[in-house]
Amino acid sequence: MSTGPTTIREVAFHSARSALSRPIADATHAIPGIRFIVARIALAGGVVGESHLLAFHYSPHAVAGACRDLADFLVGRDANDTAGVVRDWDVESEYFGRMGVNRWMLGLANLAMWDARGKLAGAPVWRLLGGSARPVPVYGSGGWLSYTDDELVDEVTGYARRGFRAVKVKVGAKEPGRDLERLRRVRAAVGPGVRVMMDANQGVAPEAAIALAHAARGLGIGWFEEPVDHRDFDGYARVREASGVPIAMGEREYDTVALRELHRRRAIDLWQPDLLRLGGVEGWRASAAVARELGVPVLPHYYRDYDVPLLCTIDNGAGAESFDWIDAIVDAPMRVDDGHALPRESPGWGFSIRDEVLEAP
């Protein structure tokens, strides 16, 4: 155990709600609000590293217990030893499984440690990793099935007015023809100069996914995200071959098994790694390296404010997903201009969730 100024002295957890929190729904989930778990690690020398994960309402008791386990594990560790924490936490987690809540906790710890590492070095994380700052293309995400038509059009046109050149819409509605109707409304609202993508959140069967892709062919769909269950590799292959629409997936994965299996079946066009599920920076970058080896571009899931700096450290990034959910509760919102996000120059991740919005976990 470390005993110097980089020793983790204390670990605290908080909850925070987005200022934009409201009920939303996709093809497989009804979500009552937008909530985060925030971790702060205090080092013996006074530096504090922070991270957050998107928790929604899921498994609050399991998450709370895993947070307590994580705090006990981290105290006394060296904040610079991110690789050692990954290794030892995986050993600790093996009995109950390295996937699931334990892996999310690893990601939360890892991101806070990298924030502290950057602050200790006086440099942003992307620079510590040998990257170079550059604008990263972002697309406007949302298009929830729970939206009214007016809410849907308002969101996508709002993105377009802000200079976004691509938007993503949820599909998998229960009413026949509803998905196509919504996609047509979006295309008419944003015009031909904005790409439109669709995301089923694993909510449709292969035959229905193929039928929707064919019906939407004239709308110029950029890609079809998670059309079917993430474990149905052969189903992905059928959808891609029969529809001719590029396939994106990866956000449910805790490793690169699906990436390799889908590539072997010629069934993936964009890899969407989830930073928290992969256990943090090392796991994210390792998955990006596998994608590069396979010739698959990287388009990460959700965590724009971490993903943009990480995309500045690889050469096979396609862009990042953009939500506005944390912008109103952080001290330094990420700059997004003309459909591109710029990595922050401040040490660590360059931002923190403001104290006044933090709640008890």
**Each residue's pLDDT tens digit, 113-163:** 999 999 999 999 999 999 999 999 999 999 999 999 999 999 999 999 999
pLDDT the model gives residue 2: 66
List pLDDT tens digits, range 241-294.
999 999 999 999 999 999 999 999 999 999 999 999 999 999 999 999 999 999
Indicate the pLDDT class of residue 1, thresholds 50, 70 and 90: low
Which CB contacts under 8 angstroms, 24+ apart, belong to 247-253? 247/223, 248/197, 248/223, 248/224, 248/272, 248/299, 249/225, 250/274, 250/287, 250/301, 251/226, 251/277, 251/301, 251/302, 252/202, 252/226, 252/277, 253/277, 253/278
pLDDT at 156: 98
3-state secondary structure at position 28: coil
pLDDT at residue 72 tops 80: yes
In the chain the domains, ranked by start, together with CATH numbers, are 8-122 (3.30.390.10), 128-353 (3.20.20.120)
